[in-house]
Structure 1
Amino acid sequence: MNALADVARAAGVSKATASRALSGRGYVSTDARDRVVAAASAIGYVASPNAASLVTGQTFNVGVVIPFINKWFFGEVLEGAERALLDCGYDLTLYNLTDDPDDRDRIFDFFLARKRFDAVIVIGVEPHVSRVWSPLRLGKPVIGIGAAPDGIRSVSIDDVAAGALAADHLLRLGHTEIVFLGGDGDEGDEWLGSVHGRRLSGFTSALRAAGVPAADRHWPAEISLPGGMDAALRLLGDPRYRPTAIFAGSDEVAIGVIIAARQLGILVPAELSVIGIDGHDYAPMFGLTTIEQHPRDQGRRAVEILMGELGASAAVPNEPGAEIMPVRLVTRSSTSAPGLRSGEIV
């Protein structure tokens, strides 16, 4: 195998200069860099990541902790982060954080603590997790996307404001019998600080501000399309307590609600308005009104912040605080004024 010394000899530079030219770290003149790159290409030299790690102290690897890999938001965030890391010359090691306490312990106390990473990204890990594991113990830059443990920087949307925006849209249409469908709420105060707890908080605050009673507006649902359909079948099955509008905690839940309504013969939006949150790829197919966010942009932005920290210092402290990404209301055919029938004019 061709060695770095061969590249240096062919380019007429020292091994140190060849190393700096190929790693992109440290000053090298443009002429010398071009000669080194050309020599490496000519002799088929491939830099060893392990050797580079020994020299620079960096692994060029980022650990990524994620609770779901088969749900739309998490997949989109992961794709955005992965592409940004690859563009920066970094690899990633993925850890799926399940509900199993033993699995969590292995990830937190063994893999993340003992494996070599330059930084860690945690995606959708709720704040209460920091009670059993503090990412600050790693002594490396850590950033969260969406939900994040306490005490670290994060990139997210304002979930409280998003919940209020969804409620305001339905209130302006004239709805007052509105239910939030999402999350189970079993964790009590901890759940209130979660993504869906914050969305419920913004939703109920908007109802109160409009003078609409906000008690008992939460209907639990698993955050998935089947979960939304199952919960909606139970909620909508009794016409005596049927709301005129539903704010779903995610677009997948909202699509499940629309499918349940069709099974029950309930017309959307004539008899039931439905609004979600996410900007799912399937939202236009179902005519779903939604609060649109951009998870891939959140993944890319988190990587930009990490790269800035890694470039500034190997011991940059983690500064808590959230960078808020924009959302927008996208109105489609799943919402209308209460009781609006086809052909009627508002």
Structure 2
Amino acid sequence: MVSLDEVAQAAGVSAATASRALSGRGHVSPAARQRVNDAAEELGYVVSSAASTLASGRSRSIGVMVPDLHRWFFNTVLTGISDTLTRAGYDLILYNVTRDVQLRREIFRAFLRRRRVDGVIVVALELDNWETRQLKELGLPVIVLGGTLRELPSMAIDDHAVTQLATEHLLALGHRDIGYIGGDQAFDVDYHVPSTRRQGFTSALHKQGLEPDEALVQSADFTIAGGHSAAKQLYGSPENHMTGLVAASDEMAIGALLAAKDLGIAVPQQMSVIGIDGHELGQLFQLTTVDQQPARQGRIAAEHMLRRVESDDQVSIDLPYKLVVRGSTAAPSQDPSNRLVH
């Protein structure tokens, strides 16, 4: 088995310098780091995680807790976290925290207390008092991503502002009869994202002296199928006179675009559609969206976590977002023949 001393000798540096270069801790010149990495690769040297943990008191692993492994958003956030941790020489330990109360209790009571991680990133999970207390008692850095908890460092997107921005985009184009599809109270869990986004929609209309038309509002879950069903109900309603539609998620917006295609409604000539999220399929569907940049969210959370592990820095920030205009929105047509007729 190749030793650290052999790697250091091959790279022409001291053992201490080789150790810093391979661990990612401490100052090492880029040239020396490259020589050490090249020597380690050539000799087949692998850093012993057990030895590293004993020497540093750290596991060089970060725990990440997510509520759902099958949704696009969480996978994209995880990609950003994983890329950042890997580049820094840290492992990621994933905890899938479902709504199963017994399973959640086991994760918080037993799994996290095995001390296999140096910190915990909680993604879009609203924690109860007992769960929050369990995390605080670990004595480890914790960051909540996608929500705000007063007792733990948090970073979150402003869901009210992003929906207000989406609605203001349609208003700026000249739309006044604007529909909305989003979640209702049945889906209003984990930081009340559906109701907060609905409030952002209403606020944008109020700023223009308008009232939301309840006949143009439909509830569904945040999926393509949910958006497809909700949009079809709105499009087919005899009370529908809308020219624009705000969807509370990109997946719902994509469903609305597919529903428009099914019914022969031209987008954006007869109906402008905007979503929220920055879904990877958005460009394919030419969907205008407010991109909350989930991969960047993951990178930001991981970067702050690494700083907290190394120096115990605190964090409490709003995450960035931006309007991305594509082909699914345009000014309302002045040609009456392009309006929806029932």
TM-score (structure 2 length as normaliser): 0.83
Task: Give the match's secondary structure for 1:186.
Answer: helix
Deviation at 1:115? 4.2
Aligned to 1:328: 323
Unaligned runs of 5+ residues in structure 1 are none
Task: Give the match's secondary structure for 1:229.
Answer: helix
Aligned pair in 2 of structure 1 residues 30, 244: CA closer, same or farther (>3 Å)? closer
CA distance in 2, matches of 1:294, 1:339: 35
Deviation at 1:289? 1.8
What is the RMSD computed on CA atoms of the aligned residues? 3.4
**Deviation string for 1:237-264 (max 9, x for gaps)?**
3222564432111111100011122223
2:55 is equivalent to residue 60 of structure 1: no
Aligned to 1:87: 87
Task: Give the match's secondary structure for 2:185.
Answer: coil
CA distance in 1, matches of 2:31, 2:327: 57
Contact 2:307–2:313, Cα closer than 8 Å, also in 1: no
2:281 is equivalent to residue 286 of structure 1: no
Aligned to 2:224: 225
**Deviation string for 1:75-127 (max 9, x for gaps)?**
2211111111100001101122222222222222222233421111122223x
**Deviation string for 1:222-249 (max 9, x for gaps)?**
1111121122233433222564432111
Aligned pair in 2 of structure 1 residues 37, 340: CA closer, same or farther (>3 Å)? same
Aligned pair in 2 of structure 1 residues 35, 150: CA closer, same or farther (>3 Å)? same
Aligned to 2:207: 209
Aligned pair in 2 of structure 1 residues 270, 69: CA closer, same or farther (>3 Å)? same
Contact 1:273–1:335, Cα closer than 8 Å, also in 2: yes
CA distance in 1, matches of 2:222, 2:61: 31
CA distance in 2, matches of 1:343, 1:179: 17
Deviation at 1:204? 1.0
Residue identity in the other structure for 1:133 = E
CA distance in 1, matches of 2:174, 2:309: 51
Comparing 2-11 with 323-332, greater Cα deviation is found at 2-11
Residue identity in the other structure for 2:193 = V
Deviation at 1:61? 0.6
Task: Give the match's secondary structure for 2:46.
Answer: coil
Comparing 282-291 with 151-160, greater Cα deviation is found at 151-160
Aligned pair in 2 of structure 1 residues 197, 55: CA closer, same or farther (>3 Å)? same
Aligned to 2:101: 101
Contact 1:292–1:330, Cα closer than 8 Å, also in 2: no
Deviation at 1:327? 1.6
Task: Give the match's secondary structure for 2:164.
Answer: helix
Aligned to 2:296: 297
Alignment of 1:1-346 (within 5 A): 1-4=1-4, 19-20=19-20, 22-26=22-26, 43-126=43-126, 129-134=127-132, 135-186=135-186, 193-214=191-212, 216=214, 218-241=217-240, 243-312=242-311, 316=312, 319=315, 321-337=316-332
**Deviation string for 1:146-199 (max 9, x for gaps)?**
2354433333332211111112122233433333312232377x67x4233222
Contact 1:175–1:338, Cα closer than 8 Å, also in 2: no
TM-score (structure 1 length as normaliser): 0.82
Residue identity in the other structure for 1:95 = Y
Residue identity in the other structure for 1:322 = I
Aligned pair in 2 of structure 1 residues 25, 291: CA closer, same or farther (>3 Å)? closer
CA distance in 2, matches of 1:36, 1:47: 12
Aligned pair in 2 of structure 1 residues 108, 230: CA closer, same or farther (>3 Å)? farther
Comparing 70-79 with 46-55, greater Cα deviation is found at 70-79
Aligned pair in 2 of structure 1 residues 179, 97: CA closer, same or farther (>3 Å)? farther
Residue identity in the other structure for 1:208 = H
Deviation at 1:276? 0.3
Contact 1:155–1:325, Cα closer than 8 Å, also in 2: no
Deviation at 1:298? 1.4
Aligned pair in 2 of structure 1 residues 132, 176: CA closer, same or farther (>3 Å)? farther
Contact 1:66–1:124, Cα closer than 8 Å, also in 2: yes
CA distance in 2, matches of 1:145, 1:169: 27
CA distance in 1, matches of 2:175, 2:37: 65
CA distance in 1, matches of 2:282, 2:42: 51
**Deviation string for 1:11-33 (max 9, x for gaps)?**
89987676455434457899998
Q: How many residues align?
A: 336
